[in-house]
Structure 1
Amino acid sequence: MSVFNASRLLGKTVLITGASAGIGAATAVLFAKAGSNLILLARRADALQAVANAAAIAHKESGVQSGGKIASIQLDVSDKAQIAALWDKVPADLRNVDILVNNAGFVKGVERVGDIASEDIETMFATNVLGLISLTQLLVKDFKARNAGHVINLGSVAGREPYPGGSIYCATKHAVRAFSGALLRELYNTPIRVTEIQPGLVETEFSIVRFRGDKSAADKVYDGLVPLTAQDIAEEIVWAASRPPHVNLAEVFILPVAQATPVLVDRTGATITKE
């Protein structure tokens, strides 16, 4: 018997935030291949539609006869009013969400405390923490009413160990870890599952955003090592969602082989190479 039973995801409806690129986009495509329905949320409408198209193709090519319904909705999770009005934009046949993937989040800048712009602090907390909490509150009410559901939050190695130049981002990811842990404990006597995915170095647009569009500076983050990819993390998300109903992967901590902590990273090229 296969240890991965994709049939558990057939016809499930998955809501993914930050779905226009990176981990969110890769996760959307994998769920589509597994026969799930998708609600894709992101701020960038054009990029989001491109992901929706890729997911639709992946579903068709998989030959799976279930699922395949896809709704792409332009939405900024940092805007409480937009979250409150979400169901007005979701097709009626997709409103019973089974899996929430809180993926939206970012880091901006490497400034140290005392030199961090107030706007950067506020926008990181508004998206990474408050947006995640607001959307989870909305979905958990429905999960409790149906006595079913799965919340998957994207944390980070930064939520386990802080590092210099990342004080605000680390604070937001520590908040995600605390929130996920509290939610797990609140729901332990229900069938609702809570998972936090905690990646280390993943090469996506993440570092480009951090360095305010400076790709050369972003590329240096991954010099001398083989980082994780968006696909790597998407596979762990879908794996967690496909476990038997009595199994909950509460925390999944994922690092490239060359990394042990946020600052302990081997850049000598001595570690394992990519397949």
Structure 2
Amino acid sequence: MTRTAFITGTTAGIGEAAARKFVNDGWQVIGTGRRADRLDRLASELGSNFRAVEMDMRDTSSFDQLAKSSGPVDLLVNNAGLAPPMSGLQAAEQDPLDTVIETNITGLVALTRAFLPGLIEAKGAIINLSSVAATYPYKGGAVYAGSKAFVRQFSLGLRCDLAGTGVRVTSIEPGMVETEFTLVRTGGDQAASDALYNGADPMTAQDIADTIFYVATLPAHLNINALELMPVSQSWAGFAVERKA
């Protein structure tokens, strides 16, 4: 029986790699994104097993109808997300912060709620992409880290809500992955992106796509609640200490 995955944010990075991974394994994939040209290219590459849906995660009013028109779905992968510029909150503009909150939190919750009836009927699975930022704070990351901490706790709470339904819920929490994440965060600064990943041997989008696939295809009686992963080169920073002169 062919299974169907609904994956958000398939125009780049982890979402794009996940779409390829699932289609290549015989799944039907409904993939979303805001960039129609990239969705069209991916649809052309992956063929009839991939259905492209141009969508903005902030347009929550369309989600109920989208869930109905998508048909039976066995897996929801909430991958779409972004981070604001790396300024402290005291220097930040509000609009980019609102975009992050509306995308990473509000949109994710609304989309999940819309797909829940079908996922419960299918005894399916939900995989939410959080981040190590949910656990380990860093300067300039207050809103992004807060949004990913929400995703982690939302996933755990959703497990409670869905107890007895057979639906599995997992929070995947990657560390450094070389994607367009930093390019988007810096407004297209390729030098900043290159500097971040240079010599670090970071994880790749394919690494995380493989992890998503592993979790999605586990036996139906097994749930991974949260899965944190980093490249070997990455660890935790020490505490910041302000010292008097």
Partner Cα distance (2:184, 2:49) in 1: 31
- Say whether residues 1:84 and 2:64 are aligned partners: yes
Partner of 2:243: none
Residue of structure 2 equivalent to 1:70? 50
**Identity value in percent:** 38
For the Cα contact (< 8 Å) 1:194–1:250, is it kept in 2? yes
Give the corresponding residue for 2:241: none
Alignment partner of 1:119 is 2:95: yes
Residue of structure 2 in register with 1:257 after alignment: 232
What displacement does 1:87 show? 4.3
Q: 2:138 is matched with which residue? A: 163
CA distance in 2 between counterparts of 1:239 and 1:147 reads 19
Q: Which is worse superposed, 229-238 or 187-196?
A: 187-196
The one-letter code sitting in structure 1 at the alignment partner of 2:64 is A
Give the SS at the match of 1:86: helix
Once the two structures are TM-superposed, the CA of residue 130 in structure 1 deviates from its matched residue by: 0.6
| Deviation, structure 1 residue 208 | 0.5
Contact 1:76–1:82 (CA under 8 A) maintained in structure 2: no
Does structure 1 retain, via aligned residues, the 8 Å contact 2:4–2:28? yes
- The residue identity in structure 2 corresponding to 1:44 is R
Measured against aligned partners, the alpha-carbon deviations of 1:142-185 in whole angstroms (never above 9, x if no partner) come to 223x1511000000001112111111100100110110110012
1:31 to 2:22 alignment = yes
Distance in 2 of aligned mates of 1:231 and 1:53: 20
Q: State the match for 1:133 in structure 2.
A: 109
SS in 2 for 1:126: helix
Secondary structure in 2 aligned to 1:164? Answer: coil
The one-letter amino acid paired with 1:54 is E
The answer to whether the 8 Å contact 1:29/1:54 transfers is: no
TM-score (norm 1): 0.83
SS in 1 for 2:177: coil
Alignment length, in residue pairs?
238
Query: Is 1:147–1:190's contact at 8 Å kept on the other side of the alignment?
Result: no
8 A contact 1:42–1:76 mirrored in 2: yes
Q: For the residues of structure 1 that align with 2:80 and 2:46, how far apart are their CA atoms?
A: 18
Partner AA of 2:97 in structure 1: I
1:213 partnered with 2:188:
yes
Q: Deviations over 1:124-153 (max 9, x none)?
A: 000011111001001112223x15110000
> Does the 8 A contact of 1:200 with 1:255 survive in 2?
yes
**One of 8, 29, 42 as aligned partner of 1:17:** 8
Match for 1:108: what amino acid? P
Deviation per residue, 1:193-222 (Å, 9 max, x gap): 001111000000000011111110111111
55 and 160 in structure 1: CA distance in 2 versus 1, 3 angstrom threshold? farther
Q: Which TM-score applies when normalising by structure 2?
A: 0.93
Deviations 1:52-97 (A, max 9, x none): 22333xxxxxxxxxxx532101000111123233147x4xxx5100
Q: Is the 8 A contact 2:8 2:33 kept in 1?
A: yes
Listed as ranges, the gaps of 5+ residues in structure 2 are 239-245
The Cα of 1:224 is off from its aligned counterpart by: 2.5
Asked if 2 retains the 8 angstrom alpha-carbon contact of 1:108 and 1:212, the reply is: no
Structure 1 distance, partners of 2:7, 2:83, is 19
Secondary structure (helix, strand or coil) at the match of 1:221 reads: helix
Question: Partner amino acid for 2:116?
Answer: V
Q: Does 1:234 align with 2:209?
A: yes
Is the Cα–Cα contact under 8 Å of residues 49 and 72 in structure 1 kept in the other structure? yes
Give the whole-Å Cα distance in 1 for the aligned partners of 2:3 and 2:222: 17
CA distance in 2, matches of 1:219, 1:188: 44
SS in structure 2 at match of 1:11: coil
Q: Superposition RMSD on alpha carbons, in Å?
A: 1.5
15, 39, 45: which one pairs with 1:48? 39
